[in-house]
Amino acid sequence: MFNKKSEEAVKDCKLSEQFYKPHTDYNLKYLLNSILNNYGITVDKSLPKDCFKKNKKYRHTVLIVLDGLGIELFKKNLKLMPKDIKDFLDKNLLISEVTSIFPPTTTSVIPFFLTGLLPEESGFYDWWQYEYHVDEIFCPFRNTYKNVNNEELPVDKKIDFGEIFFKSKIHKELTENNVKVFSYVDPSYTTPINVISSTFANVVETRRFTEQCVKCVQNVKNNYDENTFHYLYDPNTDGAEHFNGVYSVMSFRIVENLLFEIYQLIKEVQDEKLENVQILITADHGLNDFKREDVLFLEKHMDLDKYLKENKEGRNIGFGGSPRECILHIKDDLLDDFIKEASEVCKGYGEVFTLEMMYDNGFFNKDIVSERFERDMGNVIICAYDHKCIWFDDEKNKKFKALHGGLSYDELHVPLMSYRG
């Protein structure tokens, strides 16, 4: 069953004719607060009550994050499911439409789910971002950086990931309130953020999403008289879309399999009469298809060297973010000149925003900005229009057919499915 109230609320939440913006209420950033509230932990603001099927407390919460599952891809797949499975999911799930966190990327939203800290709090805001200690455009997920030739190399200095990635606030708070935390991790996909954020969790190694679901049910049964929280994650939809396109056969096949796994999970919970369980299923972002000919290579149309800030060794700080939301560090005294020139160059491809403009429009909360975010975040964000990209001539992006990070409907809007026993 679809939550029509949420759909109506978010569809008109727009920054401009071309861009959407995060909703003030139906927003993924309040999901963890709703989970904390379920266990009687006081929070400032939760998701609207109409996002949940029953107004009661549950001992067990299962949070499933399906990387890259935008709302439209989900809806199209649901319609194509076999009738008995579709009818079962329609009956047992309340499906709301919510907006994601900005930027809608794995590297800003997944750390939020693992730590409870928004990008402006953690300073962890994108796949590629400037990092003061490395003094280059840095990829914390892989502990690599880009050199002057745009080559990706391992960081050859000791990085204190405990300082870069804050320990999990959400898991700590749950643990301190007698909620046992389980984090289901594929050891082949272990990143520093997974390791640091799992400090307060019982880490369960699993190789596939099916295995996560099986072990999750077992852990619920083994701890049924206690309070538990379970975090499950599957990355496969995102990868299929990147390399094949959002609405490709491969993407549909993977989402179909995931929906079948969710059907089986709910059915097993019901068959085992595990009534004190709520299952919440969502995504970090959707993706946006594009073609190579619709990429604007910024360095070919303006002299970026004169505008870009320099690092401590005197080299330009390069492009952060992604081709859907390019983040730049522009010299403060040339900011107005850059905005004027770049806005003209980007006509038909996207729009240029200052960081202050993003604060003013609610994309980041200035009241909670950390020293790290303030220090490392760029002061200009260029957002590309639907099916467009703005970047530099990067060979690595030639293999992609879809990307994310921007303000299109497909990227920013995700499903929130709620099952309550």
For the chain, report the end-to-end CA distance as a whole number of angstroms.
15
**49 and 180, same structural domain?**
yes
* From 22-26, 85-89, 276-280, 395-399, the region with the lowest mean pLDDT: 395-399
DSSP codes of every residue in 316-332: BP--EEETTEEEE-B-G
Report how far apart, in Å, the C-alpha atoms of 252 and of each of 68, 72, 77, 80, 260 are.
12, 12, 6, 9, 12
* CATH classification of the domain holding 332: 3.30.1360.180
Give the pLDDT mean for 28-32: 97
Residue 310 lies in a domain: yes
- Binned at pLDDT 50, 70 and 90, residue 143 comes out as confident
173 plus 49 within the same structural domain: yes
User: What is the band of 138 on the pLDDT scale with cuts at 50, 70, 90?
Assistant: confident
**Of residues 243 and 136, which shows the higher confidence score?**
243
**Has residue 158 been placed in a domain?**
no
Same domain, residue pair 66 and 136: no
Q: Residues 244, 391: one domain? A: no
Q: Residues 96, 99, 101, CA angle at the centre, nearest 5°?
A: 140
Q: What is the mean pLDDT of residues 173-190?
A: 88
The CATH number of the domain holding residue 12 is 3.40.720.10
The answer, yes or no, to whether residue 194 has pLDDT greater than 80, is: no
Confidence of residue 8 (pLDDT cuts 50, 70, 90): very high
- The CB density around residue 127, as the number of other CB atoms within 10 Å, is 18
Torsion sign, CA atoms 277, 209, 194, 121: negative
- Asked whether residue 153 carries a pLDDT value surpassing 80, the answer given is no
172: in domain: yes
My answer on whether 219 and 316 are in the same domain is no
- How sure is the predictor about 200, in pLDDT bands with cuts at 50, 70 and 90? confident
Flag whether pLDDT at 164 surpasses 60. no
Q: Kindly state whether residues 15 and 81 are assigned to the same domain.
A: yes
Q: What is the mean pLDDT of the chain?
A: 92
Whether residue 257 is found in the same domain as residue 384: no
Give mean pLDDT, residues 332-355: 97
Domain span at 107: 4-120+165-289+412-420
- Tell whether 156 is covered by a domain: no
| Helices vs strands, H then E, count in the chain | 16, 19
pTM: 0.95
In this structure, is residue 298 part of a structural domain?
Answer: yes
Specify the residue for token string 């998701």: 47
Q: What is the pLDDT of residue 398?
A: 76
Antiparallel, parallel or unpaired: β 202-205 and 179-185: parallel
Retrieve residue 8's tokens: 């109506």
At CA 172, angle to CA 105 and CA 219, rounded to 5? 85
Average pLDDT rounded to a whole number, residues 187-204: 71
Give which of 302, 323, 289, 308 is closest to 392, Cα–Cα.
323
Can you state the percent helix, strand and coil of the chain, rounding each to 5?
40, 25, 35
276 lies in a domain?
yes
pLDDT tens column, 286-331: 999 999 899 999 999 999 999 999 999 899 998 999 999 999 999 9
State which of 2-11, 144-153, 390-399 shows the largest mean pLDDT.
2-11
Share of the chain above pLDDT 90, in %: 78
Residue 190 has pLDDT above 70, yes or no: no
DSSP-derived 3-state class of residue 292: helix
Task: Answer whether 298's CB lies under 8 Å from 103's CB.
Answer: no
For 83-96, the pLDDT digits (tens) are 999 999 999 999 99
Check: CB of residue 144 under 8 Å from CB of residue 153. yes
Query: Domain count of the chain?
Result: 2
Tell whether 406 is covered by a domain.
Answer: no
- pLDDT bin (cut points 50, 70, 90) of residue 182 is very high
Question: Region 44-72: what's the mean pLDDT?
Answer: 95
pLDDT tops 60 at residue 373: yes
Note whether residue 407 is domain-resident.
no
Q: Are residues 275 and 328 in the same domain?
A: no
Considering the domain architecture, whether residues 382 and 416 belong to the same structural domain is answered as no
Question: Are residue 108 and residue 130 in the same domain, yes or no?
Answer: no
Q: Which of 320, 330, 343 is nearest to 379 (CA)?
A: 330
Amino acid at 68: G
Are residues 61 and 209 located together in one domain of the fold?
yes
Q: For the chain, give the number of residues.
A: 421
Same domain, 343 and 230: no
Instruction: Convert the pLDDT of each residue in 375-415 to its tens digit.
Output: 999 999 999 999 999 998 776 667 899 999 999 999 999 99
**118-139 mean pLDDT:** 89
Question: Which pLDDT score is estimated for 201?
Answer: 85
